A and B are shown apart, each in its own frame.
Chain A
Amino acid sequence: MELTFYIAAAVAVLATIMVITRYNMIHALLYLVVSFLAVAVVFLTMGAPFMAALEVIVYAGAIVVLIIFVIMMLSLTREDVEQEKAWLQPKLWMGPALLSFVLLAELVYLLVIAEMPAAPAVAGSYVDARAVGLALYGPYVLGVQLSGILLMAGIVGAYHLGRQKKKVIHRFLQEKEPQKERSAAI
């Protein structure tokens, strides 16, 4: 299990590095999918299979696909890749990278020196879909309703902002989220 975790973690990190260094957006997005998949594996090793599935479906599926759609709609060309290359000059990213590195160093240091709380007595951290579902529709049901409202806000906003001459986008945006029904449930 541990080995799986470490491999998946390494893949995730590497894929993410690839994401942030690609000039071509589609390439980057494909790496992003890899990264998400790797994280899904990590979830599995962490004993959260349901989440692993959601990660794949929603992140790697819905969200990335949505972005790809938009990219396609904007019909990005070869020049945009060149442009991207030009934007990613080392002198431009050195400063921010340094800042981030400081932050990372601090965070890592803090995490490493921090004494972790002891795990609870109950052994085994496997939390299955059932437990999650019970919690979600038990105590957290209000949260579900609230996320419905959240999605409604997102939809209304996207609808208003995305409205353009081209009807196509309009329809895409409207259909993108299946959770819409839930928002109406409140």
Chain B
Amino acid sequence: MTTIPMETGLLLAGVLFMLGLISVMIRRNIIFMLISVEIMLNAAGLAFIVAGSHWAQPDGQIMFIFILTMAAAEVSVGLALILQIHHQLKTLNSDAANFMRG
């Protein structure tokens, strides 16, 4: 039904992916980093949908569901951890968590 070429969809996914990537790299706030990773995961999911729609298969959508699941689990654990860190360090600065190095 759609006439959108696959590369356009993939391009969109790629751009979103890269935006997430930039964000992970420039943000110091751990929550922002988590959010950025979610953007990236979402972009990957989009890529799957695009590919699935191109091949007219449900597989891409199923992968998206799995990604969704994973993102949720990820975020829950991540937020729990962030709470702990905020509790301990009183900051969300990821750079502050650099006790281990070398």
Contacts and interface: CB of A to CB of B under 8 A. Distances in A.
A81 to B, nearest CB: 10
B74 to A, nearest CB: 7
Given A13-B16, A46-B4, A127 B57 contact: yes
A184 interface: no
A117 B71 CA distance: 29
Nearest to B17: A107
A85 to B, nearest CB: 11
Interface string B57-78: 1111110111011111111110
Given A74-B92, A162-B83, A45 B18 contact: no
Given A59-B71, A111-B10, A111-B11, A158 B77 contact: yes
Interface in A122-159: 122, 124-127, 131-132, 134-136, 140, 143, 147, 150-151, 153-155, 157-159
Given A2-B4, A20-B23, A127-B56, A84 B39 contact: no
Contacts of B35: 19, 28-29, 32, 67
A8 B83 CA distance: 35
A2 B54 CA distance: 15
B102 to A, nearest CB: 22
Given A87-B93, A151-B73, A51 B56 contact: no
Given A1-B1, A46-B49, A67-B79, A119 B55 contact: yes
A114 B70 CA distance: 30
Q: Is the interface of A mostly helix, strand, loop or mixed?
A: helix
A103 B14 CA distance: 10
- Which of A32, A46, A173 has the most chain B CB atoms inside 10 A of its CB? A46
Contacts of A131: 58
Contact of A154 (B26, B73, B82, B84): B73
Contacts of B65: 51, 54, 132, 136, 147
A25 B76 contact: no
A177 B65 CA distance: 14
A20 B33 CA distance: 10
A109 to B, nearest CB: 10
B80 A162 contact: yes
A163 B50 CA distance: 40
27 contacts: A1-B3, A5-B4, A16-B16, A17-B19, A32-B35, A32-B39, A48-B49, A50-B61, A63-B71, A92-B26, A93-B26, A97-B26, A104-B14, A108-B11, A116-B7, A125-B2, A125-B55, A132-B65, A154-B72, A157-B76, A158-B80, A161-B83, A161-B84, A162-B79, A162-B83, A164-B87, A176-B76
- What are the 6 tightest A-B residue pairs by CB atom distance, in nearest-first order? A154-B73, A96-B25, A162-B80, A93-B26, A20-B23, A135-B58
